[in-house]
């Protein structure tokens, strides 16, 4: 059996998304900036996609800008938010994705701002009293806190953070890559200034994302060179990706509750079986708390084992199981997970992130648990 439990890294494309994209690979190949009919029909598809995304998120189409993915969108929101609004101080978390953390660190290195890092506890929960203190000391800051962590699944309260940001006239950006397509975002009522998405996290194409920027907090472009995306992003649009991401989001919203119920059931079963069969198993962050974590992510810390030390992911792969040791963007690095280090997790224990999608099955969960039992010498 082959099992794919690395859906927080990327998901399989839905066949219906591929079908929606195909005509724009074959028949509709015009440049959307061209004024002739070939160009106009493609331009129309882009604008229909923008309208669809805006509709689903309860935003205005003028607030949606298509990008190459979440990383570009994060960089745009942060760098251009700082420049446009003359921001000299930023606040973030040690648990942020490197698309945010490295961008802010680079801004500080260049002398553009002073960076403050929020205090967290051993479960990865942010200290909002500390955030309030930092905002009082540094009004008009930029805050960048993700909606949910890509490694440990912790969900952050965007309303609480956003209301503090409003109170102190701060620009609030949130990386919503892991929650987009899995949770509803009502942007007319959510106190955020910008959020982002990457299509491949919810069964859409890689290389396609979008940025939402509240029209009250407009920012300057990050990429120059053309009038595309309402003068906000130069370069010929990735038409295939744009059509695909809009279709993927539409499908995600069609039966979000059904998808959630199915995936939550898989995660619950996984937690229960691991607790029942592997002595000393622990769960990092809040990933085992169904009310406070992504239903798609479970970060498991397994007891020290001579046979599996540093080899667990490899051993799982030999058994046909694909999982991750943290964020996929850091999977080839020897430094390990910055998120788990920030939590003070023991380096002697093997940590594995299992992440699920609507295409996974109960049989795959049971097979994976059986293989873990074998790897850890559990006799049935």
Please give the positions annotated as active site. Answer: 329
Q: Are 76 and 67 in contact (CB under 8 A)?
A: yes
Cα separation, 113 vs 84, in Å, equals 13
Q: Is 48 helix (H, G, I), strand (E, B) or coil?
A: helix
Q: Is 271 helix (H, G, I), strand (E, B) or coil?
A: helix
Of 63, 98, 58, nearest in space to 78 by CA? 98
Please write down the long-range contacts of 286-293, taking CB distance under 8 Å and 24 or more positions apart.
Answer: 286/123, 286/124, 286/125, 286/152, 286/153, 286/154, 286/155, 287/152, 287/153, 287/154, 290/264, 292/154, 292/155, 293/148, 293/152, 293/153, 293/154, 293/155
User: Which residue has 């009082």 as its token pair?
Assistant: 136
Measure Cα distances from 325 to 152, 242, 311, 354 in Å: 11, 31, 11, 9
Token readout for 136 is: 């009082």
Q: Which residues contact 30 (CB under 8 A, 6 or more apart)?
A: 36, 37, 38, 39, 40, 41, 42
């Amino acid at each position: 059996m082959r099992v794919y439990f690395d859906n927080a890294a990327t998901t399989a494309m839905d066949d219906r998304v591929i079908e929606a994209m195909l005509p724009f690979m074959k028949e509709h190949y015009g440049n959307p900036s061209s004024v002739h009919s070939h160009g106009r029909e493609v331009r129309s598809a882009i604008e229909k996609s923008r309208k669809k995304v805006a509709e689903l998120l309860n935003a205005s189409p003028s607030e949606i800008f298509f990008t190459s993915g979440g990383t570009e969108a994060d960089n745009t929101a942060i760098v251009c938010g700082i420049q446009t609004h003359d921001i000299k101080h930023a606040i973030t978390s040690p648990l942020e994705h490197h698309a945010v953390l490295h961008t802010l660190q680079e801004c500080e290195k260049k002398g553009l701002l002073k960076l403050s890092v929020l205090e967290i506890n051993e479960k990865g929960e942010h200290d909002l009293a500390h955030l309030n203190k930092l905002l009082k000391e540094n009004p008009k800051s930029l805050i960048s806190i993700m909606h949910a962590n890509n490694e440990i699944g912790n969900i952050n309260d965007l309303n609480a953070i956003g209301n503090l940001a409003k109170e102190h006239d701060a620009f609030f950006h949130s990386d919503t890559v892991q929650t987009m397509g899995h949770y509803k975002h009502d942007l007319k009522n959510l106190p955020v200034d910008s959020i982002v998405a990457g299509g491949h996290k919810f069964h859409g194409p890689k290389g396609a994302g979008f940025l939402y920027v509240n029209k009250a907090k407009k920012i300057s472009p990050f990429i120059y060179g053309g009038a595309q995306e309402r003068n906000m992003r130069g370069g010929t649009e990735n038409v295939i990706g744009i059509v695909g991401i809009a279709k993927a989001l539409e499908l995600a919203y069609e039966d979000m509750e059904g998808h959630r119920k199915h995936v939550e059931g898989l995660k619950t079963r996984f937690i229960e079986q691991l607790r029942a069969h592997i002595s000393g198993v622990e769960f990092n962050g809040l990933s085992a708390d169904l009310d406070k974590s992504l239903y798609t992510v479970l970060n498991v810390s397994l007891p020290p084992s001579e046979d599996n030390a540093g080899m667990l992911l490899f051993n799982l792969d030999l058994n046909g199981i694909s999982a991750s040791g943290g964020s996929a963007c850091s999977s080839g690095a020897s430094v390990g997970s910055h998120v788990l280090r920030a939590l003070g997790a023991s380096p002697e224990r093997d940590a594995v992130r299992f992440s699920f999608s609507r295409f996974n099955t109960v049989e795959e969960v049971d097979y994976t648990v059986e293989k873990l039992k074998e790897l850890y010498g559990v006799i049935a």
